[in-house]
Amino acid sequence: MARVGSAARAAATVMAASPTQARNAALIELAHLLRASVAALDVDNARDLDAARANGLAGPMLDRLKLGAKVIDTVAEGCEQLAAMPDPIGEITGVKRRPSGISVGQMRVPLGVFGMIYESRPNVTIEAASLAIKSGNAAILRGGSEAIHSNLALWRLVQQALTTAGLPAEAVQLVETTDRAAVGRLIAMPEHVDVIIPRGGKSLIERISAEARVPVIKHLDGNCHVYVDADVDLDLAVKVTDNAKTQKYSPCNAAESLLVHERQAAAFLGRIGAIFAAKGVECRADERAAAILRDVPGLAVQPATEADWAEEYLAPVISVKIVDSVDEAIAHINRYGSHHTDAILTTNHPNAMRFLREVDSASVMVNASTRFADGFEYGLGAEIGISTDKFHARGPVGLEGLTSMKWVVLGNGEVRT
Amino acid sequence: MARVGSAARAAATVMAASPTQARNAALIELAHLLRASVAALDVDNARDLDAARANGLAGPMLDRLKLGAKVIDTVAEGCEQLAAMPDPIGEITGVKRRPSGISVGQMRVPLGVFGMIYESRPNVTIEAASLAIKSGNAAILRGGSEAIHSNLALWRLVQQALTTAGLPAEAVQLVETTDRAAVGRLIAMPEHVDVIIPRGGKSLIERISAEARVPVIKHLDGNCHVYVDADVDLDLAVKVTDNAKTQKYSPCNAAESLLVHERQAAAFLGRIGAIFAAKGVECRADERAAAILRDVPGLAVQPATEADWAEEYLAPVISVKIVDSVDEAIAHINRYGSHHTDAILTTNHPNAMRFLREVDSASVMVNASTRFADGFEYGLGAEIGISTDKFHARGPVGLEGLTSMKWVVLGNGEVRT
């Protein structure tokens, strides 16, 4: 790993100084190679799929492992979209003349080397590689052992694209061993690696965070709240709450907790309860909410326990609580939430502004579905991950999260007195 | 410490939502209390000074420990300057309408709770407290045991100012015990503390970084370079190099290494050598530079070892090397430098731009003294520290380094499809 790290560091220096055009050309070439290699990639992917089946892997796990023409076309298109985006590197902002005579501003530069640790889905190999290329960084990728043949095949295309564009092939390296100790070494080389980005389950991320000796862009739980305020457009509230909870159950930005102002409780809970009943969503409700929800035909209602307020179900289950004020809603969210994404549905402007300011979450929303918390929806073009931390990057992390700002000073012989 | 941490977290929530005016009023009141308490503070400071003398502390250490009317006036003025600055909190930037109909932007919010660990100088207590108040954060301060009576007295004024302004006194807490284990607990409470800022020697910072379980804003070495290019105004080069090296020897932004293009070596080294000889600055030179410098009357010249290229002397010593190109200069700086501050002196525009872009340091300068790398000189108004990291904040860290950007989404009932 030290050899891999040292090669990455050397490649990062070349990438940082490389022309915009070379990096874009590598992305276009990579898209071309991906589309031209559908059949060949299928052979390597089949080896992983066969091994997974032999190991008794189940349906959804197999689905995530599968490449195929459609997935390949999507990642190829992602490369082309990145190539078309403005270069984040070299941007100079805020240059101001100081009383001493010097001009001071900031220049956006690559972070250097990032390590990406992920599971199952081999398309992450291309997503991470293409973000590294565009942002002028080097990357060390460590995919899941179950996808090793697919990842190796994809990585060979990345190396070919880099070489064709005149960039160092070592700018994107794949850890070829499936030895688990390699991860331990990757996260403890501050001299070679500037940041670690894990994508996977909570236990993987917690373990990496505890053991890493470099910064980690962490993505932990998404216990997202929808709060229906006292003043609200009920039709809007029903539509948005339905979407936030039921459009998909598994994403981290799906709603897991519903807070309703007591003034709207009877009217709103009756309507959303009917939708939940029709879609098979179970409610874990406090006493007051349960008293209303139990009247909804066909709705599963359970009493909420303390643990329910903090739970990320990722399933057709939602906790429901009636509150008496926007203050109570904000306090509840800051206490039990996971600082991911929370929304207020209201027509009251002061309450909207207080919610935006006081809810301590990476994304705070007014009258929109929590499901919008996503790099593409936010216009970042691509997403390397979602951060539940406050340090460096918060919420969806795009190309800018892979950069830092250094100070530039332009003088004409000024000295300090 | 858990009790202190939990009180800080609660106070941070109140501070984040507090009016701009209350935080500014607390700063003005603190300045007033400081100026009115010069005599009282002198009594507490004398207890620390007496103990230090009894423990055999030497001149410079005693100087750093001393408060006195002038130091108190300086920190009081710092509080007033902070009060006059714009509030960093609540700024909303970059709001853009997305194709889905939602508007997405970012809002600047406090980080939450920071821990500050520092040595000797009691004025840091006021600097850290005032930055916490202005930025809407809570702070837990841990000063050196040798300054405990001065720090306690200053802290009581901070608490009084907070209370008078209607803000929670727990927004700034001082660790009252001088027990060293308290530091170990402070840096390992991610549930209560968001970031640690150590100010002190390299060994303190390395130990804290290794043991911390939260992010650390690290300030390690300053091995700053001045590179004199082939095309250069020699008068400017002599003036700036002299200032960068000799204006003060102890700051981290003083030059420690001098690189000279071979075309200017004879003319430039003769002139700067004469100044170094007059000021008693010793040169550790490579063979080619030594051959020229040995002809300068009265100049101490030693052959440079490999270790000299990486050394932060903080003393009247400088390493000197002749290079054959701007490429060699950049490569040398990136290899041996500490990524703190480096300057090129040149009239050649392409070389200036390459240096700015390719030197991987927190501050890169053209035709200006490295001594300018400082929060006040950069216009940040105040400086909580200098970061030699790339993550989150790089170089001088002002109020913005104590904040993070959260996403705000403004909708009108939009849902994800």
CATH assignment at residue B146: 3.40.605.10
Q: Is residue A87 part of a domain?
A: yes
pLDDT value at residue B3: 94
Give the separation between CA A304 and CA A256, rounded to whole angstroms: 13
| Residue B215, phi then psi, degrees to nearest 5 | -60, 150
Query: Is there a single domain that holds both residue B147 and residue B98?
Result: yes
Q: Higher pLDDT residue, A193 or A219?
A: A193
A102 and chain B in contact, CB less than 8 A: yes
What pLDDT, in 10s, does the model give residues A285-344? 999 999 999 999 999 999 999 999 999 999 999 999 999 999 999 999 999 999 999 999
Residue B387 DSSP label: E
CA atoms within 13 A on the CB side of A366: 21
Segment A402-407 shows an average pLDDT of 95
What is the pLDDT confidence band of residue A27, given thresholds at 50, 70 and 90?
Answer: very high
Question: Which residues of chain B are within 8 Å of residue A190 when distances are taken between CB atoms?
Answer: none
Which residues in B lie closer than 8 A to residue A379 (C-beta atoms)? Answer: 96, 98, 104
Inter-chain contacts counted by CB atoms under 8 A, chains A and B = 224
With CA atoms as reference, the chain B residue closest to A15 would be B358
Give yes or no: residues A260 and A307 share one domain. yes
Average pLDDT, chain B: 95
Yes or no, beta carbons of B107 and A16 under 8 Å apart: no
Do B85 and B190 lie in a common domain?
A: yes
User: Would you say residue B378 lies in a domain?
Assistant: no
Q: CA-nearest residue of chain A to B102?
A: A368
Mean pLDDT of A103-115: 96
Q: How many domains does chain B have?
A: 2
Q: A365 at the B interface (CB within 8 A)?
A: yes
Q: How close B176 gets to chain A, by Cα (Å)?
A: 28
Do B94 and B188 reside in the same domain of the chain?
Answer: yes
Q: Are B123 and B67 in contact (CB under 8 A)?
A: yes
Tokens 């005149």 found at: A166
Residues A135 and A75 in one domain: yes
Instruction: Determine the residue of chain B that is closest to A210 in CA distance.
Output: B213
List, in sequence order, every beta strand (DSSP E) within B25-99.
Answer: 92-97
Task: Tell if the CB–CB gap between B364 and A413 is shorter than 8 Å.
Answer: no
CA angle A141, A45, A41 (to 5 degrees): 85
B266 and B179 in one domain? no
- Cβ of A406 under 8 Å from any chain B Cβ? yes
Res B120 pLDDT > 80: no
Question: Which secondary-structure segment (H or E) carries B174?
Answer: strand B172-174
Predicted confidence at residue A63, as pLDDT, reads 87
Query: What are B36's strand-pairing partners?
Result: none
B280 and B143 within one domain: no
The verdict on a CB contact (< 8 Å) between B372 and A409 is yes
Distance from CA of B113 to the nearest CA of A (A): 11
Residues of chain A neighbouring B16 (CB-CB closer than 8 A)? 357-358, 360
Q: Chain B partners of A415 at a C-beta cutoff of 8 Å? A: 239-240, 242-244, 247, 368-369, 371
Both structure tokens of B125:
């207590």
Which pLDDT score, from 0 to 100, does residue A129 have?
97
- Determine, for residues B16 and A360 on separate chains, whether the beta-carbon distance falls below 8 Å: yes
- Report DSSP state, residue B118: E
**CB-CB neighbours of A415 under 10 Å:** 19
Mean pLDDT of A349-353: 97
User: In this structure, are B154 and B207 located in the same domain?
Assistant: yes
**Cβ–Cβ contact B363 with A under 8 A:** yes
Q: How far is CA A404 from CA A104, A392, B308, in A?
A: 16, 9, 29
pLDDT band at B57 (very low <50, low <70, confident <90, very high): confident
CA distance A366 to chain B (A): 5
- Rounded Cα distance between A298 and A285, Å, is 15
Contact list in A for residue B107 (CB cut-off 8 A) is: 356-357, 364
Q: Is B75 helix (H, G, I), strand (E, B) or coil?
A: helix
A183 with A234, same domain: the answer is no
What per-residue confidence (pLDDT) applies to A220?
81
| Per-residue model confidence as pLDDT tens digits over B173-206 | 999 877 788 999 999 998 999 999 998 888 888 8
Amino acid A243: pLDDT? 98
For residue A203, the model assigns a pLDDT of 86
B371 contacts in chain A (CB < 8 Å) = 415-416
Strand A195-199 and strand A224-228: the pairing is unpaired
Q: Which of residues 322-341 of B touch A (CB under 8 A)?
A: 334
pLDDT tens string A227-255 = 999 999 999 999 999 999 999 999 999 99
Task: Please indicate, yes or no, if residue A169 is contained in any of the structural domains.
Answer: yes
Least Cα distance to A391 among B393, B362, B294, B297 occurs for B393
- Do A184 and A246 fall into the same domain? no
Is residue B121 predicted with pLDDT exceeding 90?
no
The answer to whether residue B377 sits within a structural domain is no
* Overall average pLDDT of the A111-117 stretch: 95
B215, B247, B409: residue with CB nearest A368: B409
Same domain, A213 and A263: no
Does residue B381 sit at the A interface (CB-CB below 8 Å)? Answer: no
Of B98, B213, B233, the CB nearest to A379: B98
Contact A98 B371 (CB under 8 A): no
A275 touches chain B (CB under 8 A): no
Instruction: Sort out which chain B residues have CB atoms less than 8 A from A416's CB and list them.
Output: 243, 247, 369, 371-372, 377
Q: What's the per-residue H, E or C state across chain A? A: CHHHHHHHHHHHHHHHHCCHHHHHHHHHHHHHHHHHCHHHHHHHHHHHHHHHHHCCCCHHHHHHHCCCHHHHHHHHHHHHHHHHCCCCCCCEEEEEECCCCCEEEEEEEECCEEEEEECCCCHHHHHHHHHHHHCCCEEEEECCHHHHHHHHHHHHHHHHHHHHCCCCHHHEEECCCCCCHHHHHHCCCCCCCCEEEEECCHHHHHHHHHHCCCCECCCCCCCEEEEECCCCCHHHHHHHHHHHHHCCCCCCCCEEEEEEEHHHHHHHHHHHHHHHHHHCCEEEECHHHHHHHCCCCCCCEEECCHHHHHCCCCCCEEEEEEECCHHHHHHHHHHHCCCCEEEEECCCHHHHHHHHHHCCCCEEEEEECHHHCCCCCCCCCCCCEEECCCCCCCEEECHHHHEEEEEEEEEEEECCC
Q: Which of B228, B225, B236, B258 is nearest to B326 (CA)?
A: B228
Confidence band for A386, pLDDT divided at 50, 70 and 90: confident
- Measure B32 CA to nearest chain A CA, in Å: 28
User: Predicted confidence band at B32 (pLDDT cuts at 50, 70, 90)?
Assistant: very high
Cβ atoms A163, A111 nearer than 8 A: no
B180 Cα to chain A: minimum distance (Å)? 23
Nearest CB partner across the interface for A411, out of B367, B378, B406: B367
Whether residues B379 and A98 touch (CB distance < 8 A) is answered with yes
* Paired strand residues for A217: none
Q: What residues of chain A lie within 8 A of the CB of B361, using their CB?
A: 406
Q: Is the Cβ pair B407, A13 closer than 8 Å?
A: no
Confidence of residue A204 (pLDDT cuts 50, 70, 90): confident
Asked if B406 and A392 come within 8 Å (Cβ–Cβ), the reply is no
Answer yes or no: is A98 within a domain: yes
Question: Residue A416 and residue B98: Cβ atoms within 8 Å?
Answer: no
Burial code of B98-115, b = ≥16 C-beta within 10 A, e = fewer?
bebebbbebbbbbbbbbb
CB of B136 within 8 Å of any CB in chain A?
no
pLDDT band (50, 70, 90) for residue B261:
very high
Q: Is residue B314 part of a domain?
A: yes
CATH code: domain of residue B282? 3.40.309.10
d(Cα B180, Cα B172) in Å, to the nearest integer? Answer: 20
- Is B100 in the A-facing interface, judged by CB distances under 8 Å? yes
Q: Which residues of B touch A100 (CB under 8 A)?
A: 372, 377
> Which among A411, A407, A378 has a CA at the least distance from the CA of A393?
A378
Same domain for B202 and B247? no
Least trusted range by pLDDT, from A57-66, B237-246, B271-280, B285-294: A57-66
Domain that holds residue B35: 2-217+392-410
Q: Is residue A13 part of a domain?
A: yes
Report CB contact under 8 Å: A416, B371. yes
Residues B89-95 have a mean pLDDT of 95
Cβ <8 Å between A415 and B239:
yes
Q: Is the pLDDT of residue A178 over 80?
A: no
Nearest CA in chain B to A414: B368
Report yes or no on A385 lying in a domain: no
